[in-house]
Structure 1
């Protein structure tokens, strides 16, 4: 399978392209479903590449807002530990995002699902990869990118268990020199910093807090918010 060139820019797809790639969004191709859309596995014949296609739910204003954010911000980012955005589609009233396919799925499926436990070597590798992605977003790009939704279900894993951080629908751009900015509360409870919840001011530090929660999940194999009522102490 031909790898995507690092310098290749995201492209615009037609709706027909993605209908063909996903076998008309068949249930057999469904990878998962979230609050604002469904993700399908697809195949692009011209690139000889497996892809993941996120189809935004019709009528979801928040989903469309996150779609615009991803196209504006995520399409500009290039790092080995970020999921690569292959392209997008706004056609026939549909909004879709196309990403590189992650064979090992999301981190939460390995930590809390029925898969075999991750070795400590792999857990350490995943922790370093996520830290590297955050450092790039916070310090190395031309602007500071605050992700706002760092959690184990947004940490994707390629065939070699390399981290690929995804889902930039809540991300915000900030100048490096500025402190925390009021963005309106967004994110996932259990991963959000207490000071962010109380003030609504997002920052690099609130992202780092979320990273710490994920690191605890990696180390303990327990969810930050347990469905049975117990939580990892933070």
Structure 2
């Protein structure tokens, strides 16, 4: 009976099959045949699983809508043919497939009564490339038994009905690609392959994602290059910004480091200028105050190598009467030695104060200088020093002298060092020093002392010293020692060991007379 009814409908509309959409639009004017109720009742007896059978059962709370079921039957037969199903008898077609037919797809979607009674045999629904512009067509989800739902390549928008879709337990393939959806529960997407949601609005846009990745990669590379450049600059120019454990040679200063420490060698930082040496007071990055001796003479590459070797040696100096060496700079345009800064006054300033009136105190300073000089002569004979009352600093209550200037790279001999000490000793007694401007000032200064010594020694001794008659002979001995050290004949010069013994003897005798 159902077969004959189905064939009847087909024969009824066969002449208009090529205009099926028009035929379907005329459903409102069609009425069921007289025996249609009997037909559907018979169909439900034979196949009670038919969805419209629920409306005909006695237990149903809703009355049977014969006209709606009639229209559903007609639409089903046409949709079966539209979808090119091989068997369209007894509501048994397996798929609904409408590709690239926008008007037809929209028409069938508008028949809510069809989806309400969707055939149980339909396992695939494909509405692909139909320019649909509505929200998600939830009416198709009435076919709860479907395994495949493909709505790709449309212009659908709005939220995906996750709750309803989750109830379709047989759904194994879902394709929402190329639409403009949104979703409230992204966990649902994990149920399907990511290819099901390409350009759907549910996943990051691939091109945009690639663009972001590319931009981030470029930015990362730029940052890496800049960091490498900064790190290279720090290593080469400002290693003091690096952690101490990362510095290969913490005692090696760069010209940039010394520029920063001295405000680019400003005049305000300049302490003194000597022949070939400019002395600055600098502040290192770690806050330490330092004395920076800049050697202004231009030298060859070989001399610069010698300078660095001598600086390596100076760095190892450890003595209570020597200023601690912090490091050096040996770049192409700057040679400098960096030592710790001592806040105490120098001997030249101290000699002009009232605290230098004691002969014993002056001898104590001389003895400390001799100890430092002896240490250099015995342990580091290759290192020379610049010794006068302005370069020896005083620290502590002793006061304890500190030799603060070392001569690097000029190769002075031991004889020259002894001569320099002799001048220092005479300056400690007379509080006079040669005029550095005049070339022969040292010789004239020594000649002046020889003229008055020993017969008229009071004329050259600093008048601030309160010398008793019994200590005057010891002062004469000290002047004699200074003159012996300044004698140009090496045979008449004393060694530093002999000089040290003589100074110690003078100091001990002064303590007995004190």
How far apart in 2 are the matches of 1:77 and 1:38? Answer: 22
The answer on whether the counterparts of 1:66 and 1:169 sit within 8 Å (CA) in structure 2 is no
Structure that is richer in helix per residue = 2
From 85, 91, 99, the equivalent of 2:331 is 91
Quickly say closer, same or farther: Cα 1:146–1:88, change in 2 above 3 A: closer
From 213, 217, 228, the equivalent of 2:423 is 213
How far apart in 2 are the matches of 1:71 and 1:97? Answer: 8
Q: Give yes or no for the alignment of 1:157 onto 2:397.
A: no
What SS does the corresponding residue of 1:103 show, helix, strand or coil?
coil
- Report the TM-score when normalising by structure 1: 0.65
Range with greater deviation from structure 2 (85-94 or 68-77): 68-77
Equivalent position of 2:366 in the other structure? 127
Structure that is richer in strand per residue = 1
What SS does the corresponding residue of 1:104 show, helix, strand or coil?
coil
Quickly say closer, same or farther: Cα 1:150–1:78, change in 2 above 3 A: same
The answer on whether the counterparts of 1:56 and 1:64 sit within 8 Å (CA) in structure 2 is no
Deviation at 1:145, TM superposition (A): 4.8
Deviation at 1:65, TM superposition (A): 8.5
Quickly say closer, same or farther: Cα 1:86–1:13, change in 2 above 3 A: same
The answer on whether the counterparts of 1:67 and 1:97 sit within 8 Å (CA) in structure 2 is no
What SS does the corresponding residue of 1:23 show, helix, strand or coil?
coil
From 375, 400, 405, the equivalent of 1:167 is 405
- Report the TM-score when normalising by structure 2: 0.32
Equivalent position of 2:298 in the other structure? 59
Q: Deviations over 1:129-161 (max 9, x none)?
A: 10110221233x2x5456365433432333654
Q: Give yes or no for the alignment of 1:33 onto 2:273.
A: yes
How far apart in 2 are the matches of 1:40 and 1:216? Answer: 28
What SS does the corresponding residue of 1:78 show, helix, strand or coil?
coil
The answer on whether the counterparts of 1:106 and 1:154 sit within 8 Å (CA) in structure 2 is yes
The answer on whether the counterparts of 2:392 and 2:404 sit within 8 Å (CA) in structure 1 is yes
What SS does the corresponding residue of 1:132 show, helix, strand or coil?
helix
Quickly say closer, same or farther: Cα 1:220–1:80, change in 2 above 3 A: same
How far apart in 2 are the matches of 1:221 and 1:129? Answer: 18
Alignment of 1:1-234 (within 5 A): 11-46=251-286, 48-57=287-296, 59=298, 67-68=307-308, 70-91=310-331, 93-111=333-351, 115-117=352-354, 118-120=356-358, 121-139=360-378, 141=379, 144-145=381-382, 147=384, 149-158=386-395, 160=397, 161-169=399-407, 186=412, 202-203=413-414, 207-223=417-433, 229-231=444-446, 232-233=449-450, 234=483
Quickly say closer, same or farther: Cα 1:126–1:171, change in 2 above 3 A: farther
Q: Deviations over 1:212-231 (max 9, x none)?
A: 33222112212256978553
The answer on whether the counterparts of 2:307 and 2:408 sit within 8 Å (CA) in structure 1 is no
Deviation at 1:207, TM superposition (A): 3.6
Q: Which runs of 5+ in 1 are unaligned?
A: 1-8, 173-182, 187-201
How far apart in 1 are the matches of 2:296 and 2:272? Answer: 13
Q: What is the number of equivalent residue pairs in this alignment?
A: 191
The answer on whether the counterparts of 1:87 and 1:98 sit within 8 Å (CA) in structure 2 is yes
Quickly say closer, same or farther: Cα 1:92–1:136, change in 2 above 3 A: closer
Q: Which has the higher contact order (CA 8 A, sep 6+)?
A: 1
CA RMSD of aligned residues (A): 3.4
Q: Deviations over 1:101-130 (max 9, x none)?
A: 12235433444xxx5252425423311210
What SS does the corresponding residue of 2:311 show, helix, strand or coil?
helix
The answer on whether the counterparts of 1:123 and 1:218 sit within 8 Å (CA) in structure 2 is yes
Equivalent position of 2:493 in the other structure? none
What SS does the corresponding residue of 1:11 show, helix, strand or coil?
coil
